[in-house]
Amino acid sequence: MGKPTGFMEYERTEFEAESPKERIQHFNEFHTALSAEEQRKQAARCMECGVPFCQSGVMLGGMMTGCPLNNLIPEWNDLVYKGCWEQAYERLRKTNNFPEFTSRVCPALCEKACTCGANGNAVTVRSNEYTIVEKAYSEGYAAPNPPKVRTGKKIAVIGSGPSGLAAADQLNKRGHSVTVFERSDRIGGLLMYGIPNMKLEKHIIERRADIMKAEGIIFKTEADIGNNVSADEILNQFDRVILACGASEPRNINVKGREAKGIYFAVDFLKSTTKALLDNDLKEGTYISAKDKNVIVIGGGDTGNDCVGTSVRHGAKSVTQLEMMPKLPDQRAENNPWPEYPRVCKTDYGQEEAIEVFGADPRVYQTTVKEFLSDDNGNLTAVVLVKLNPEKDPVSGRTLMKEVEGSEYTVEADLVLIAAGFVGAQNYVTDAFGVERNARGNVSSEQGTHKTNSDKVFVCGDMHIGQSLVVRAIREGRDAAKEVDKSLMGYTNL
| 263-418 and 154-248+423-489 share a CATH fold | yes
> Rounded distance, CA 399 to CA 335, Å?
16
Is residue 322 within 8 Å of 297, Cβ to Cβ?
Answer: yes
Helix, strand, or coil (residue 155) = strand
**Residue 297 reports pLDDT greater than 80:** yes
Encode pLDDT of 233-272 as tens digits. 999 999 999 999 999 899 999 999 999 999 999 999 999 9
Smallest CA-to-CA distance from 85 within 130, 144, 145, 119 is with 130
pLDDT of residue 1: 64
Is residue 253 within 8 Å of 420, Cβ to Cβ?
Answer: yes
| For the chain, domain boundaries | 6-139, 154-248+423-489, 263-418
> Rounded distance, CA 175 to CA 194, Å?
31
pLDDT of residue 397: 83
> Rounded distance, CA 473 to CA 84, Å?
29
Cα torsion for 267, 269, 271, 274, to the nearest 10°?
-140
> Residue 434, Cβ neighbours under 10 Å: how many?
14
Give percent above pLDDT 70 in the chain. Answer: 100
Encode pLDDT of 12-31 as tens digits. 999 999 999 999 999 999 99
Encode pLDDT of 409-435 as tens digits. 999 999 999 999 998 999 999 999 999
Is residue 351 within 8 Å of 364, Cβ to Cβ?
Answer: no
Q: What average pLDDT does the chain have?
A: 96
pLDDT of residue 394: 85
Encode pLDDT of 201-227 as tens digits. 999 999 999 999 999 999 999 999 999
pLDDT of residue 2: 67
Encode pLDDT of 73-88 as tens digits. 999 999 999 999 999 9
Helix, strand, or coil (residue 63) = strand
CATH number of 263-418: 3.50.50.60
First to last CA, the chain: 28
Domain 6-139 coded CATH 1.10.1060.10: yes
Q: Which amino acid is at 238?
A: F
Give percent above pLDDT 90 in the chain. Answer: 94
In this structure, the chain runs to a length of: 494
pLDDT of residue 435: 96
Domain 154-248+423-489 coded CATH 3.30.930.10: no
